[in-house]
Amino acid sequence: MDKTLVICASGNVGSELVRLLRADHREVIEATSRKELKPGQVHLNLITKEGMKTAFDGVSRAFLLSPPGHTNQHELMRPVIGMAQEKKLNKVVLMTAMGANADDTSPMRKAEMQLENAGIPYNIIRPNWFMQNFHTFWMDGILKQGKIFLPVGKAKGSFIDSRDIASVAYSLLTSDQFSNRDFDLTGGRALDHDEVAYLLTRASGKKITYQDIRPDEMLPGLLSAGLPADYAHFLLMILNYFKLGYAEAVTDSVEKITGKHPRTFEHYVEDYKNMWMKS
């Protein structure tokens, strides 16, 4: 039976992908940087490269993702993709981000090109901004002040539910129908942050509004939250791309690959509304 390695298995996408694969009675190995392992886990530290060879023992398919908080994605992914190539895996799905292919010199695009040239079956998925950011990364301002603080003006984004990204990854890992192709993944429509705030308010019953801020107003909060300076500046850079309209495009990739429409933002807020009801 195929064994699938899932990197970043504890994240929003990885944890749902593991659930889907196991629900389908497929053998899954969760890669973790922790030394204390649970059944079904293997130690793999992408920073130190510790556990690289053993993580791929008996593996025939893999889901690859550079851990958040790092801007040197190609440096982290290079040995992983190299190991997948050495082991001649049956399928590798690499997740980067929408817009990663705009610049061949960017770290994410370098990782994509390495996989494209590895000579093994692959898919590359580039999701847009996650809906889940509104109950994780942007949560502090929502809970404390009832505001979404972002430097994106009135620009719109076709936000995608991370569960739909996992469904796409599952479909691509378990089928060869779309092999050796890349896909931009989005939700079904684009919303600005005033519209997002309205939907959060309606679902939670808590007054939530959006406040446009300057990038230099956001930077101290990112640094105080523990983000490395280079990653904080990287985040502000891609938020500026959002402001310029690059996150507004809508694709049909989710439906094409999974056969299902992507979840709506209304669906997302209904599922997570209790998160914004906290005092």
pLDDT at 112: 98
Instruction: Report the pLDDT value the prediction gives residue 131, as an integer from 0 to 100.
Output: 98
Average pLDDT rounded to a whole number, residues 93-120:
97
The model carries a pTM of: 0.96
Instruction: Provide the pLDDT for residue 53.
Output: 87
**Position 279 pLDDT exceeds 70:** no
Which H or E run contains 1? Answer: none
pLDDT exceeds cutoff 90 at 278 = no
Q: What is the pLDDT of residue 1?
A: 64
> Residue holding tokens 């690959």?
257
**Residue 62 near residue 28, CB atoms below 8 Å:** no
State the pairing for strand pair 27-32/147-150. unpaired
Q: Give phi and psi for 276, each to the nearest 5.
A: -90, 0
Q: How far apart are CA 14 and CA 98, in angstroms?
A: 18
Q: What would the mean pLDDT of 186-191 be, rounded to a whole number? A: 98
Cα-Cα end-to-end distance for the chain: 48
Separation CA 159–CA 131 (nearest Å): 5
- State the fold for domain 128-160+186-248+259-279: UDP-galactose 4-epimerase; domain 1 (3.90.25)
d(CA 95, CA 223): 26
CATH class of 3-127: alpha beta
Give residue-wise pLDDT tens across range 138-167.
999 999 999 999 999 999 999 999 999 999
Report domain extents, the chain.
3-127, 128-160+186-248+259-279
Residue given tokens 């940087």 in the structure block = 33
CB 84 within 8 A of CB 92: yes
pLDDT in tens, 27-81: 999 999 888 899 999 999 999 999 998 999 999 999 999 988 899 999 999 999 9
Cβ 35 vs Cβ 93: under 8 Å: no
